[in-house]
Amino acid sequence: MTQQVSNARNTDAQTHVANFDLKEEIRAYWSDRAERFDESASHHIEATYGVPEWHKMLRRAFGLAAHQDLQGASVLDIACGTGEVSRVLCDFGAAVTGLDFSDAMHAKSRAKLENQNWQALTCDAEHLVGVPDNSFDFAITRHLVWTLTDRNAAFSEWERVLKPGGKILIIDGNFSKNRGLVQRCKWWVASLLEDPEPRSPEEMHRHQHILSRLPFRDGLVSKNLTADLEKAGFIGCRNISVKGLYRAGMRGWPLPTRLRQTSANRFALIGNKQS
Ligand SMILES: C[S@@+](CC[C@H](N)C(=O)[O-])C[C@H]1O[C@@H](n2cnc3c(N)ncnc32)[C@H](O)[C@@H]1O
């Protein structure tokens, strides 16, 4: 099931939304990366070790029993990109809506998921235009929060569209400043070795230029995010370990990639909408 639920792009209303120009730049940046995105070690979820680790983590996060899956549950994958996380969720029995504002990313996710219980939603993660209140049992977002221009707007919207008692799972990391000594050393050693996933200087420059104007330019710290989630109405926020995910995800990759990928403080944070 592949359906475009809403295309909130370039309407008059949308151009008046805060940070419109910066968001357009962010959208263009990700769209240009869509073609090769799945080649990146931190995005592709490998079948033999990666997918089972994801299923374990989802059980812990969503409080499922040992052999339970997400059969019958509706899940919103916020900023689904090429659909890697959506793929794992469908594989785990969920009915998934993959939200993203990049058409190029959605072209990739559609191609991957056309025969799955999945539908595309093209809209801004900070303004879920046309999505009714209390729509989803669970929401999940990987590697989006660091690039939000208005996290408070986003978190309120995510709380609004979850059903009472629903859960939000944020998987992200501190990829910029304020990393620990060990992480900084890993990054430094990785940068001395030959990088099998080089990004062009132009791409790095665009990335840095965008990052320098984002609220999380000094790093994304899970403790601070908890306070923001609580402000949006979430309760019972807690961290869960993602070590297994990244250990599994890094199998078979060359040393510089493993060092670089583990040089960020990665975390998963879960919050509940009040019942
Ligand atoms: C680093 S990628 C992560 C993709 C996917 N979640 C994954 O982990 O494989 C970031 C994604 O967020 C999307 N994105 C960034 N800001 C967004 C926004 N405000 N609304 C909707 N999508 C957004 C981009 O188009 C891109 O697909």
Distance 23 CA to ligand 1 centre (A): 11
Ligand 1 pocket, residue 121 CB under 6 Å = no
Determine the pLDDT at residue 4. 41
Q: Does 29 score more than 70 pLDDT?
A: yes
Determine the pLDDT at residue 17. 57
Number of C-beta neighbours around residue 267 at 10 A:
19
Average pLDDT of the segment spanning 186-209 = 77
Distance 81 CA to ligand 1 centre (A): 5
Alpha helices in the chain (DSSP H): 12-15, 20-33, 50-62, 84-91, 103-113, 151-161, 181-192, 201-211, 222-231, 243-250, 255-261
Ligand 1 pocket, residue 105 CB under 6 Å = yes
The phi, psi pair for 238, rounded to 5°, reads: -150, 155
**Which residues, other chains included, contact 111 with Cβ-Cβ below 8 Å and sequence gap of 6+?**
none
Residues 47-90 pLDDT 10s? 888 899 999 999 999 999 999 999 999 999 999 999 999 999 99
Q: What is the pTM of this model?
A: 0.89
Please say whether the beta carbons of 88 and 54 come within 8 A. Answer: yes
* Residue minimizing CA distance to atom 12 of ligand 1: 79
DSSP 8-state assignment for residue 105: H
Ligand 1 pocket, residue 30 CB under 6 Å = yes
At 104 the three-state DSSP class reads helix
Taking the C-alpha atoms of residue 49 and residue 68, their distance in angstroms, rounded to an integer, is 19
Taking the C-alpha atoms of residue 161 and residue 186, their distance in angstroms, rounded to an integer, is 39
Distance 264 CA to ligand 1 centre (A): 18
Q: Does 45 score more than 50 pLDDT?
A: yes
Distance 145 CA to ligand 1 centre (A): 9
Q: Does 189 score more than 60 pLDDT?
A: yes
The superfamily (CATH) of domain 4-272 is: Vaccinia Virus protein VP39 (3.40.50.150)
Taking the C-alpha atoms of residue 272 and residue 230, their distance in angstroms, rounded to an integer, is 9
At 70 the three-state DSSP class reads coil
Domains of the chain, by residue range, sit at 4-272
Ligand 1 pocket, residue 147 CB under 6 Å = yes
